[in-house]
Amino acid sequence: MSQATHRLSIGPYPQEFRGFFGRDQGLPSENVLALAVDAKERVWAGTDKGLAVLNRGRFARVAARGLARSPVRALLADTGGRVWAASEGGLRVLERGKWSRVGAGAVALAEGVSGDIWAVSEKGVWRAGTGGGAPIALPEGVRPTSLAWCAGTLWLGTLDGLFALGDGQWEHVLMGDGGSGLLNRHVYCLMADGVGHLWIGHAIGGNIFDCGKGWYSLRGEQGLPLLQVRVMAKGPNGERWFGGRTGAAKLERGQWHYYSAQRWLPALSVQAIAVGPEGTAWLGTPEGLSRIEQRLMTLEEKALIFETQVQARHNRYGFVTVSSFKDADNFAEVTYEASDNDGLWSALYCAAECYRYAATGEEEARRLARKTLNALIMLAEKTSVPGLVARALVRKGEKGVEKSGGEWYDSPDGKWEWKADTSSDEIDGHYFAYSIYYDLVADEREKGRLRRVVRRMTDYIMANGYLLIDVDGEPTTWGFWNPERLNYDWPEQKGLNALEVLSHLKVAYYMTGEEKYQRAYLELIKKHHYGLNVIDQKVLRPGSINHSDDELAFTAYYPLLKYERDPDLRAMLDMSMRRSWAIEQPERCPWFNFIYGAVTGDACDIEGAVRTLREIPMDLRYWPVRNSLRADLPLDPHADRFRRPQATEALPADERPAFKWNSNPYELDGGGSGASEEDATFFLLPYWMGRYYGFIQEGPGAWAKKGKRTRRARTG
């Protein structure tokens, strides 16, 4: 195995998982208005139809009078172990296992430094449960929303500004002029920290206030994703959670994270947040409750979970791609997709298992790689035209599979249907996977079989003048590698398609040893300047940037540069590769990074690759994602060229819709209903490639060379 000059040793990291709770999990209603986590780590949820507490994974309704059916709008778990709940029927406290009514209803609660509990309603502010003194009247006409005790002062948030209580009188903290001070008078929430700072959520973001004269603004310019902040909560390690009508955000170790519906939240609007002592966040919405927790795990253990996902819902006798379900929460009935690009997607999975086998020696990986290799070869053998590869293949009468649109034909033996109009995407995938399987997995019998398949495919392309001729005798839509088209009629594709056909010919020459492929390869370079075409293959503006083409380019780069050793040819090819990767590097694609490092020996931003692998969410369903609602993303002024708005920086993997590496990482919105799921190949391929080349090194985890397994993280 080739050893990387640059490598990164990595260990466990906190991976986020989410779970949803609704009426089926015991909540009285899915409209969650208030949350609290008490000293015993019990989770309390106030809904519009009563209070509930989490018990052994399910919520149970609290039967206390005034809390069982009434809307509970404010909850507080104090430092003394008591739980306070405010409903229309009054304010109640749970102490020594018993609920007691201690006052009128309130809209907000706060704990003072001495353990006193303060409550506020439109009738005033009072110390709850003391039984003494009349409420302190509010400033005239204000509408209270929140309370906090900070720096020895009681602070009142209202829809008319921020007020401080001093010597029984309210002082109005004036709004700033845009340079400093409170940014907006519609204050929705307050939160005190341990060093005397007041965090303020309002209609246009937030502020941090030192309770004296110092102010800091929290808006999109400072990284806050939310347009407004309606609820806040602190975590045990300095985390800050924010919620509003456009989702949730977390500030952790100086970095902002955005959480959208429905990957992370049952609904987009967040009405309540509470964080437990171990850091698990609970977020209430009008359509249910979300639990977002971190579990310590390794990337290897993540790969184990994803391998299970692929085998359970995505592997159709070797073909691996997206699958769908009757509804988003029922995986029992899977519908497999016979897609336009079965050849490419399955080829990438085959390559992932080849690298896994080479890195671990695990027989299961070889079995899965062989299964998908056989499926790929069927695509090359079941058409009615020798040498023409099918896009997709379906058994006659096969159940549980949905054929994509297009032209389908019967196989010569009458047992299959195959899809025509094969794209260059599929051809790229075949040569990529065949070369890797040949080098890392194949025995002598399989090598002979691969040589025959590659010879038949390559001869067919060459015999037709570097065109992929379809069953109707015409070229397929994208099957053009001929000089006449590339050098004169198709300038935007001349670099990519020249790269592709050179890669295919190099693989054929390497695997078969037949000089005709090398002669054809050199002729395209010397006579038709394909080597020069390749140098600038990555199209930039004002051309039409195509992220799918980027994936195809790196699929072709890898075998071409792996096998080409001539220094004069490498001078051009390396120039092309370095230029392309320099453009792609900001996207932090781990697969592109590792291909670059593998074929050049240069540093390849392993840290960025690992960051992306860790960011990839555990839930790969196509949920709707609307980053266009965010306040923190500068928009690309050229985005109108692409018909959809896009950011100037690549979005983190867990903030995008589910994707493959042919997706646009700058695009803001996308996704679906959640009833379809991406297969995990886009994680498995770069992970196992990085392991094989030694770019990333992990201690024993889910896999070990002798087959022993350890588990740090649950797989649920």
Q: What domains can you pick out in the chain, each with its CATH number?
A: 138-222 (2.40.10), 299-698 (1.50.10.20)
CA 703 – CA 298 distance, rounded (Å): 11
Helix locations, 3-55, DSSP H: none
- Beta-carbon contacts of 254 under 8 Å, excluding residues fewer than 6 positions away, are none
pLDDT band at 699 (very low <50, low <70, confident <90, very high): low
Q: Is the pLDDT of residue 716 over 50?
A: no
CA–CA separation, 110 vs 76, rounded Å? 7
What is the per-residue pLDDT across 27-42, written as a single tens digit (0 to 9) for each?
A: 999 999 999 999 999 9
Query: Which residue matches tokens 């350890």?
Result: 710
What is the residue-wise DSSP string for 662-686?
TS-TTB-EE--SS-EE--THHHHHH
CA-to-CA dists, residue 77 to 13, 110, 292, 526, angstroms? 30, 10, 20, 77
DSSP state letters, 595-638: HHHHHH-S---HHHHHHHHHHS-S--B---EEGGG-SS-PBPTT
- Which distant-in-sequence residues (6+ apart) come within 8 Å of 552 by Cβ? 424, 425, 428, 496, 500, 662
- Maximum alpha-carbon separation in the chain: 99
615-651 residue pLDDT tens: 999 999 999 999 999 999 999 887 655 567 899 999 9
- Residue-wise pLDDT for 263-309, tens only, equals 999 999 999 999 999 999 999 999 999 999 999 999 999 999 999 99
| CA atoms within 13 Å, Cβ hemisphere of 280 | 19
Residue 400 makes CB contacts below 8 A (sequence gap 6+) with 333, 334, 335, 336
What is the Cα–Cα distance from 620 to 663, expressed in whole angstroms? 14
At residue 639, the pLDDT reads: 66
Average the pLDDT over each of 550-554, 577-581, 637-641 and give the range with the smallest value. 637-641
For residue 23 the two structure tokens come to 């009426």
Q: Which helix (H) or strand (E) holds 357?
A: helix 342-360
Q: Is 588 left (phi over 0), alpha (psi -120 to 50) or beta?
A: left
Query: Within 10 Å of residue 18's Cβ, how many Cβ atoms?
Result: 19
pTM (two decimals): 0.93
